[in-house]
Amino acid sequence: MDAFSSESECTTEYWIDWFLGAQGNEFFCEIDDEFLADRFNMTGLNAEVQYYQYAMDLIVDTFDHDCDDQTREQIERSARHLYGLIHARYVLTQRGLQKMLDKYKNGDFGVCPRVLCQRHPVLPVGLSDVPHSAPVKMFCMRCEDVYTPPLPRYANIDGAYFGTSFPFLLFQSYPHLIPNKTAPERFVPSIFGFKMHEHARMMRWQNSRRLELQSRLSQYEDDELRRKKQ
């Protein structure tokens, strides 16, 4: 914290570089200056962040206020929280999606811990859009499940900084990235090469339920499409 305080007189990019370079912040992308400068993008955040204006000044490197160490520390904490809230909005924009897509392709978010997903890359996701509700999780599009990040340094990242919609909006924007799920791999326990009867029956039931839900979803989408055309 002291190192950060001593380097407060720096460019906007340098503060963001410091934030992105801090251990545990690898999931975040850089927010463009133009997005930060647009007041419309900040609507409502002043009511959610203590010392909002001071925190914004710190992010964009216009902070020149004299304050005691305790207040300064609170402002710095608010700046990190504010950046996270802005980040949740930024990653839903076309530019933000592109930056997160690049990180996804580079494997910056890690891979799915499920063995049969064969190290498929994952995306950060929040279980709630309300801050301080739940830490960030990892979403795998191949098995469509969420996991806790493997490293403890990610445990303190708020899931609201990514939101509940980001991964799905990214795949909607780039549908070619959606993996083929026509024949999902499932682990089948066996004894001397023979399937366990109860598990086999449960697996058949799960597969039938999956097909039923997929059929219902397809029917719903068709009904919605016909309704829009009318």
- What is the reported pLDDT for 220? 80
Q: Cα separation of 111 and 146, whole Å? A: 11
Half-sphere exposure (Cβ direction) of 176: Cα atoms closer than 13 Å: 2
The percentage of residues in the chain with a pLDDT greater than 70, rounded to a whole number, is 88
pLDDT category at 8 given cuts 50, 70, 90 is very low
Lowest mean per-residue pLDDT among 9-13, 50-54, 95-99, 128-132: 9-13
Give pLDDT tens digits for 42-88: 999 999 999 999 999 989 887 777 777 888 889 999 999 999 999 99
For domain 107-177, give the fold. N-terminal domain of TfIIb (2.20.25)
Look at domain 2-90 and name its CATH class: mainly alpha
Residue 148 contacts residue 137 (beta carbons within 8 Å): yes
Please tell me the pTM assigned to this model.
0.75
Please report, for the chain, the start and end positions of each structural domain, with discontinuous segments joined by +. Answer: 2-90, 107-177, 190-229
Relative orientation angle of helices 94-105 and 166-173, to the nearest 10 degrees: 90
